[in-house]
Chain A
Amino acid sequence: MLAYALKRLVILALSLAVASLVIFVVVEVAPGDPASFMLGINARPDTIAALRAELGLDLPVHERYLAWVTGMVQGDFGTSYTYRAPVAQMVAERVQVSLPLALYALLLSTLIAFPAGIFAAARRGKPGDVAVMGATQLGVAVPNFWFAMLLVLLFALKLRWFSAGGFPGWDDPLQGLKALTLPAVALALPQAAILARVMRSALIDILHEDFIRTARAKGLSRRQALWRHGVRNALIPVLTIIGLQFSFLLAGAIIIEQVFFLPGLGRLIFQAITQRDLIVVESVVMLLVFAVIVVTFLTDLAYAAVDPRLRGRR
C-alpha cells in the first residue's frame, strides 16, 4: 500500500512539474515578449522596458521558470499588473467561492446519482429504471449554464426563493451556502445524470459476474447480493468518473459563476484575459491544473482503498 501511494506521489510530482512547464512555455515563451503583449501595440518603449524589468524578463528563460516555480511553492504567485495586488491574495479570495461551489456540486451530484443508479440497476427493464434512464438521458444533454438560467428564471425571478446572483460572503455561512445553492444544483444535475448512468451500467455488469451467482447460491436475495457484493465492486469504475467529474465541475464552476455573477476564479480569469494580465491567467490556470492533478492522486488512493488487488501492486 505504501509503495503504491509513494509511486502515485512521484507521478503527482512529475505531472505537476510537466504541467507547470507547459503552462510557462505557452504563456511566457510562445507569445514572444509578454511585456509588449500585455501592454498592447500602442505602448511606449520605455513603459515596456519598465514592465520587462518588473517581470524579470531580462533574465534567461530557465531562471525565470525556476523563479516562478519556487515563488509558487512559497505561496508567491507574483503581482497582478492591472490590479497592482499580489495574485496570491486575489486568488485566495476567489477560491473561497469557486472551491466550495465545486465541492458542493460534487456532493450533490454523488448524493443524487448513487441512489438513482442503484435504484435503476435493481429494477433493470422495469418502469422505474426506464423513468430514471429517461431523466438521465435528458440530464446528460442539458448544458449546465443554460440550466442555470432556467433556474434563475424560475426560482429567482418568478418564485423569488433565491437571489438571482451575487455572493454575500462567508460571514453568515448559511447565507453563503444559500447563494451557492442554485449554482451548485445547476452544476450538479447534469453531472449526476452521467454518474447515475455509470453507476447503473457498472452495477449491471457486475450483476452478471460469477461471484454474484455465488452470493445468490449462499442464500442472499437479489437485493442483498446487489448491496453487499455489487455496490463496492461498482465503485471502482464509478470512482474514475467522480475523479474526472471534479475537473469538469471546476471548469463548469468557472462558467456558472458568469451566470450568477459570483466573484470566483472564473470572473477573475475572464477579467484577466480581457485586460491581458498574463500573470493572473498563468497563476489561475496553474492552480486549476494543480487541483485536477491532486484529485487524480486522491482518486488513485481511493481505488486502492476499494480494491485490494491494487494495494499489493508496485
Chain B
Amino acid sequence: MSRNLILGTLLTALFLGAALLSFLWTPYPTDTVAITERLQPPSAAHWLGTDHFGRDMLSLIMVGARTSIAVALVAVGIGLGLGVPLGLAAAARSGGWLDEAIMRMNDLIFAFPSLVIAILITAILGPGALNAIIAIGIFNIPVFARLSRGAALSLWRREFILAARTAGKSAPRISAEHILPNIANLLIVQGTIQFSLGILAEAGLSYVGLGAQPPIPSWGRMLADAQTMVALAPHVAILPGLAIVLTVLGLNLLGDGLRDRLDPRLGVVRT
C-alpha cells in the first residue's frame, strides 16, 4: 500500500467514523445553549473549545461531518446514477442524435455552476440541505457522463467489443457486461474526487446560507457564524475549516492512491 492510500484511508475513516459515531454519542449535546461557556479556547473539558453559544466544538464538528458527508455522498450518487447511464448510452450510439443530445445537454449544465443552480433553486424554494444536494448532484451528472462516454468510446473501438458484437450481443448488454466493469475503476476514482469536491461545494453553499439551515450543524454554517468572531476567538473559525481540509485531503489522497493501485493510466479529471 502506498503512503497516499494509507493516509487517505485513515483520514477518510476518521471523519466517516466521527460522522457515524455522532448518531450514537457526542461529547456534549449540540442543541443546548450555555452562554456562560461561550467562546472558550480548547481545554481539557472542551478539547476543541466552544462556540458563541457555548456549544462544544468537537461535538459540532462531529455532527457537521454527518451533514457534509451525507450531502456529498448523495450528490455523487446522483451523478453516478444518472451520468454513467447517459454516458454509456451516448457512447453506444456514438455520432447519432442521442449522443449529440446528451453531449449538448452536458455542455448546457456546465454553463450553470453549482452555486448558480443553488441560487436558482433557493430563490424559488427557499434554502435547505436538499437544495445543496440537488445543485451539486446536477453538476455531477455531466462530469460522470463525459468521463464514462470518453472511456466507453475508446473501449467500443477495441476488438473484444467487436467480438461481443459478432456474438450478437446488444449494445445495452455489451455496456453492462463489457464496458461497465472495465470503467469501474475509473468511476471509483473519479467518484472519490467528486465526493471531496462535493464536500467543498456543500461548505461553500452553507457558508453563504444556501445549504443546510439551523439547527442542523454544518461546517460551512459554523464558519459563517465564526466570521465576526475571528479576532476574538480564532479557534471557532480555524477548526471547522481544518475539518474540511483534512476530510477533502483524505479523500483526494485516497483517490490518488486508488488510482495508482488500480491503474496509473486512468484519465481522471480534477476541476
Contact = CB atoms under 8 A, between A and B. Distances in A.
Interface of A: 11, 15, 18-19, 22-23, 26-27, 30-31, 37, 137-138, 140-147, 149-150, 152-153, 157, 194, 197-198, 241, 244-245, 247-248, 250-252, 254-255, 258-259, 266, 269-270, 272-273, 276, 278, 281, 285, 288-289, 292-293, 296
A270 B209 contact: yes
In this complex, the member of A37, A255, A266 whose beta carbon has the largest number of chain B beta carbons within 10 angstroms is A255
B223 A244 contact: no
B231 A157 contact: yes
Given A26-B120, A197-B270, A255-B204, A141 B111 contact: no
B145 interface: no
Interface centre among A137, A140, A198 (most CB of B within 10 A): A140
Contacts of A15: 107-108, 111
Contacts, number: 132
Given A153-B230, A281-B119, A241 B271 contact: yes
B48 interface: no
Given A153-B234, A285-B119, A251 B200 contact: no
Given A27-B124, A138-B245, A197-B270, A296 B111 contact: yes
A278 B123 contact: yes
Q: B111, B207, B252: which has the most chain A beta carbons within 10 Å?
A: B111
B116 interface: yes
Given A251-B115, A278-B123, A137 B270 contact: no
B271 A149 contact: no
Given A150-B238, A278-B123, 11 more contacts: A22-B112, A23-B120, A143-B241, A145-B223, A194-B270, A245-B271, A247-B111, A248-B271, A255-B207, A266-B208, A288-B116
B237 A153 contact: yes
A146 B244 contact: yes
Contacts of B207: 143, 145, 255, 258
8 contacts: A11-B107, A143-B203, A149-B230, A150-B237, A150-B241, A153-B231, A244-B110, A258-B207
Main secondary structure of the interface of B (DSSP, over half): helix
A18 B108 contact: yes
Nearest to B241: A146
Contact of A141 (B113, B123, B249, B271): B249
B219 to A, nearest CB: 9
A27 B123 contact: yes
A203 to B, nearest CB: 15
A292 B240 CA distance: 31
B122 interface: yes
Contact of A143 (B114, B116, B120, B244): B244
A157 B237 CA distance: 14
A29 to B, nearest CB: 10
Contacts of A259: 227
Given A141-B196, A251-B113, A273 B119 contact: yes
Contact of B227 (A19, A149, A266, A273): A149
B248 interface: yes
Given A19-B111, A150-B241, A273-B119, A244 B227 contact: no
A80 B240 CA distance: 37
B249 A292 contact: no
Interface string B235-271: 0011011001110110011000000000000000011
Contacts of A19: 108, 111-112
Nearest to A241: B271
B124 A292 contact: no
A149 B240 CA distance: 12
Contacts of B231: 153, 157
Contacts of B108: 15, 18-19, 22
Nearest to B244: A143
Contacts of B123: 27, 272-273, 276, 278, 281
A149 B237 contact: yes
A149 B124 contact: no
A150 B122 CA distance: 28
B134 to A, nearest CB: 12
A99 to B, nearest CB: 15
Contacts of A152: 230
**Closest 7 A-B residue pairs measured CB to CB?**
A146-B241, A141-B248, A251-B115, A141-B249, A251-B113, A281-B123, A292-B111
Contact of B120 (A27, A244, A266, A292): A27
A250 B113 contact: yes
A251 B114 contact: yes
A143 B248 CA distance: 9
Nearest to A257: B208
